[in-house]
Structure 1
Amino acid sequence: MTESEHKIIEILRILNEQNKPTGSKLIAEELKNKGFNLGERAVRYHMQILDEKGYTERMGYSGRQITELGRKKLDKGIIYDQVDFIYSKFEEMIYLTSFNYMNRTGNVVVNTSTIYDEEAFNIIKDVFKSGLCVSPYINLKEGNSKEEIQIKTICGTTIDGILLNEGIPTIPLYGGLVKIRDYVPTKFTELISYKKTSVTPLDAFVAPGMTSVLDVINTGNGTIPANFRLIPSVGRERALNIINKLEKIGIGGVMAVSEEGKNMLGVPVPEGMVGIAVSGGVTPFCAAQELGYDIDIKIAEEIEGFETLSPIADVKKILKPADDKIHAKTPFLLSKSWNLIQKVNFDVETRKGDIIVNVSYINKDSLDKAIDIMKETYESNPKYINPYYQLVEHPTDYSKIGIATICSLSIDGLLINNGIMSNPKYGGLLELNESPLFIDLISYNGSSVDPHKIFIAKNMTSITRNIGSNKILASLKEIPYISRDYAVHLLNILKNIGFSIYKIGKPRELTYNAKVDNYNFGVVAGSGLNLIAALKEKGIDVEVKAIAKLMKFEKMERL
């Protein structure tokens, strides 16, 4: 990103945050706060550029405001910047927290959720009563229509801000899912790092099939969203004291605080540090979503005065203290995959050998329809869809059948087997326009779950649906420039065989708007899960990527 582009993006961010016509003087002041020394005259120059592009519009003497096109630019056009922005956004919210727990005044960080059904509200209220939340304090108001209810709830980031104001620095590390057994938090089963993602980690897990909040309430067993941060060990006792005081005034959600350097809930804690796990502030809304209610959630995007909030219900906590057992470390996706990658021995000349496949399961009575959908999907867009698949028996359920599709990690394995280092960097969502662009990216290195599985769960793809631009699953690989010639040779052979290789980048080039490190080049490859996403879009009940395994390429069928 050039310096000028960076300034333009920051101006758009300022206008988006202001949400009203804003003049060049205020924009210049805000830019200065962000480290850009731009005078009013220079701001006006950049604003003219934005006007010409249609990203902003002049509103008389009041200033300019961002347009819908400008918001789209902000969302999609800066994905290589957005993967770093998510973490900085949380840092900003932590800094802006000014809540004083002694006199109960000041700003807290809030999540803003919109629901469209009164029954959903009653379900959410019951979850608050159970204590599966950060706080029962909410702000409730009507949305844009009578059916809409907008609810602001306290985000766990507020606790980070309060600790920082008391001189205790916190380092947000992960958002994820915690397994509850007999009302006891036991282990993080999934994690996504706050760094190197364009998707807020907890937002990634707010999707049907990801959580089981209602099961926790009804049976004591299930999965709920939570986040994890570190603090210096010297601040542990003081932090515990603050957490206890917050609990008494209705701000809680802390599941566990580790001992110094002691792993907690499956997450390693470095020497000299202490881990703190906090329930996700969006947990009550997950419960309503589990029952099929439509909910729009924005996580940690606003600051709200605590005095504007009031308790929705009396809380009777159902969770017990987290167990103190040392659980096996929750593995990240790449650490689970490298052994499979190394076992790939596919030969491009003979077209034989082992590749990595994803196996997803459907009901056998849906198989004929599924094959028809897969064929139609491939034939309508052969450039972007890998045509190879294989049917696999389910190990225990005779009523189900597995569909194996080629995992893009096979490409990394083939290159490595030929002496070329290939590093899977991001799993993403690629929008197919005249110039395709990644619109979301999640780092493989900071996620325990396949990013593409998340995008499918959240219904973010549009491979078969006619709803604007097609959005497909793709991954970005990083390869040393020194090996480019031989890598290009092998990749072109793979492409001719039918592997989905969309683009081979150049050094220092943005590859579909995604960025790799210097002295490397990027390769964008399609996901085998595109066919599976197409099945889900067409209404086929599918268990996405239940397992990953090796399979002989020569045994696969072609659509």
Structure 2
Amino acid sequence: MSESERRMIEILRILNKQEKATGSKLIADELKEKGFNLGERAVRYHMQILDEKGYTERMGYSGRQITDLGREKLEKGLIYDQVDFIYSKFEELIYLTNFNYMTKKGNVVVNTSTIYNEDSYNIIKDVFASGLSVSPYVNLNDVGKGDAMEIKTICGTTIDGILLNEGIASQPLYGGLLKIEDNHPVAFKELISYKKTSVTPLDAFIAPEMTSVLDVINDGTGYIPANFRLIPSVVRQKTIDILSKLKNIGINGTITISEDGENILGLPVNKGMIGLAIIGGITPFCAVQELGYDIDIKIGEELENFEKMNPIVGNIDYKLKKSSNRDDSKIPFILSKSWNLIHQANFDIEKEKGDIVANISYIKKEDLDAAINIMKESYESDEKHVNPHYQIIAHPDDDEKIGIATICSLSIDGVLVNNGIKSTPKYGGLLELTEPALFIDLISYNGSSIDPHKIFIAKDMTSITKTNEPKRLLASIKEIPYVARDSSVDLLDKMSKLGFSIYKIGKPRELIYNAKVDNYNFGIVTGSGLNSIAAIKEKGIDIEVKADTKLIPFENMDKL
């Protein structure tokens, strides 16, 4: 991305935050704070370009405002920038947090969510009363008609900002799902790194079938959103003292803090550092979603003056106890798992035989015929993007269920590696088939414990069978050294003719569907074997998505 493009992106971001038309002077001032030394005249030049593209419009002498097209461009069309922007956004919010816990004044980072009925409000209050939140302090506002209410809650990022103000620089690493047993935090089940993702890590896990906050409240066992950061061990006691003072004024959320170099909750902590886990600020709202109520959840969006916030409940009966440290297992990150599967695949293109990597998802046997018909219809309507191969496999321990195996795109990496070409899975993404086609979300395989495509399916983000919106498919980006491009193209062409989903082969420094790989490499975009599985879920059939990944012989697979 050129420097000029970066400037225009930042201008769009500034305008997107404004509620009224904004002049070039204010924009120039804000750009300067972000490290762009741009005068008013230069800002006006860039604004003219944005006007011509339809991303902004002039509002008389008041200045410019962003258009709907500009917002769409900011959200969808700049995905290669968004994967870096998410982390920098949190760093910006941490820096701008100026809350003083001694005077109880200053700005805190808030999540803003909207609920639509009184039942949702009562559920949220119960979660706050259990202590499964960062703080009971909220800002309530009625919106629209009926019982709709906007609720601003304190985000865990606030704690990072408070620590920074006290001279303690934390390093946010992951957001994920934390397993709770008998009210004791045990270990993280799933994680996504804060870096190299266009999806805020905790937002990725906001889905009814992922969290079980209500189970934790009622039975003491389940999964809650949480995040994890590292802090230099030399300030451990100072950190504990600050966290204790915060708890006394109603800002808590601390799950556990490790000793120097002590691995906790399934995560490694290097010598000289300590680990700190904090409850996700959106936890109370996950409980509402688990019961199927409508809710709009936004994470870490803005700053709010703490003096505008009040406790939503009085006494709190904290459910979580001290971490049990009973689970010493380490989180298996997906890239490590993928590399092992890649090196076991031995499919021979010429013989059309050998093991490929398969995803196996499970449904009820009674739904099998309907599921196969949906897969067939999806393939026949879009043979370019949907893989036709599948195999029916017995469930390992449930006679009422059956497995559907589809080809995982790691099989393509396996073929390339077996032919002496290093192919590295880089991102799992959601590809929108507009003109031109664009990735609208990307999650790096590096630093994630869960296949990104499983997240997109769980959050109902695909659109494979829906006819009233642009088609959105699951796709992956692989990175290959440029020196191997000619040999790779030959192999990829042969795989494509056999039915493997290969969408595009890029060139060095080329934006491939608006995503990019490192210099001196080229990217290839491949379709996911889970596209046909996502189609089944879109049609309302209950399916356990990618419950297993294993090697199966290609020659044993059927074709739609």
Secondary structure, in 3 states, of the residue corresponding to 2:386? Answer: coil
Match of 1:420 in 2: 421
Aligned to 1:241: 241
User: Which residue does the alignment assign to 1:257?
Assistant: 257
Matches within 5 A, 1:119-130: 119-130=119-130
- Does 2:89 align with 1:101? no
Q: TM-score, normalised by structure 1?
A: 0.99
Q: Which runs of 5+ in 2 are unaligned?
A: none
* SS of 1:445 mapped into structure 2: coil
RMSD: 0.8
Deviating 4+ runs (over 3 angstroms): none
Q: CA deviation at 1:57?
A: 1.0
Q: Contact 2:55–2:69 at 8 Å: present in 1 too? A: yes
1:161-188, CA deviations, whole angstroms, 9 ceiling, x for partnerless residues? 0000000110000001110000000101
Deviation at 1:350, TM superposition (A): 1.0
Asked if 1 retains the 8 angstrom alpha-carbon contact of 2:429 and 2:440, the reply is: yes
1:338 corresponds to 2:349: no
Q: CA deviation digits over 1:488-518, x for unaligned, max 9? A: 0000011111111000000110111111001
Aligned to 1:36: 36
Structure 2 partner of 1:387: 388
> 1:186-205 residue pairs with structure 2 within 5 A?
186-205=186-205
Change beyond 3 A, Cα 1:236–1:209: same
Paired with 1:233 and 1:30, the residues of 2 have a C-alpha distance of 36
Return the alpha-carbon distance in structure 1 between the equivalents of residues 126 and 59 of structure 2. Answer: 45
SS of structure 2 residue aligned to 1:336: helix
Superposition pairs of residues 71-470 of structure 1, within 5 angstroms: 71-314=71-314, 315-325=316-326, 327-470=328-471
Residue 340 of structure 1, CA deviation: 1.2
> Contact between 2:186 and 2:327, CA under 8 Å: does it hold in 1?
no
What is the 5 A alignment of 1:481-492? 481-492=482-493
Alpha-carbon distance in 1 for matches of 2:122, 2:89: 32
Paired residues of 1:430 and 1:438 also in contact (CA < 8 A): yes
- Structure-2 separation of matches of 1:402 and 1:61: 64
Q: How far did 1:11 drift?
A: 0.5
**Whole-Å Cα distance in 2 between the matches of residues 143 and 292 of structure 1?**
21
Contact 2:187 2:327 in 1 (8 A): no
Kindly provide the CA deviation profile for residues 271-305 of structure 1, in whole angstroms up to 9, marking residues without a partner as x: 10011000000000001101111211111110000
Amino acid at match of 1:278: I
Q: Which amino acid aligns with 2:137?
A: Y
- How far is 1:146 from its partner? 2.8
Residues 263 and 326, structure 1, Cα contact 8 Å, conserved in 2: no
2:343 partner SS: helix
Q: Secondary structure at the match of 1:98?
A: coil
Deviation string 1:36-60 (CA, Å, 9 cap, x unpaired) is 1111111111111111111111111
Paired-residue identity, %: 70
- Give SS of 1:22's match: coil
Q: How far, CA to CA, are the matches of 1:235 and 1:377 in structure 2? A: 56
**2: distance between equivalents of 1:144 and 1:443?**
38
Q: Distance in 1 between matches of 2:462 and 2:146?
A: 30
Separation in 2, partners of 1:155, 1:162: 12
- What amino acid does structure 2 have at the position aligned with 1:175? G
Alpha-carbon offset, residue 326 of structure 1: 6.0
Shift of 1:145: 3.1
| Map 1:472-551 → 2, pairs under 5 A | 472-551=473-552
CA distance in 2, matches of 1:431, 1:541: 24
Q: Secondary structure of the equivalent of 1:343?
A: coil
Query: Using the alignment, how far apart are the partners of 1:360 and 1:396 within structure 2?
Result: 14
Structure 1 residues 34-43 or 375-384, which shifts more? Answer: 34-43
Separation in 2 of the partners of 1:527 and 1:324?
37
CA contact (8 A) 1:22 1:65 kept: yes
Give the total of aligned pairs: 559
SS of match in other structure, 2:427: strand
- Cα separation, 2, equivalents of 1:539 and 1:145: 31
TM-score w.r.t. the length of structure 2 is: 0.99
1:50-105 Cα offsets, whole Å, 9 max, x none, are 11111111111111111111001000111111001000000001001111101111
Q: Distance in 1 between matches of 2:431 and 2:397?
A: 35
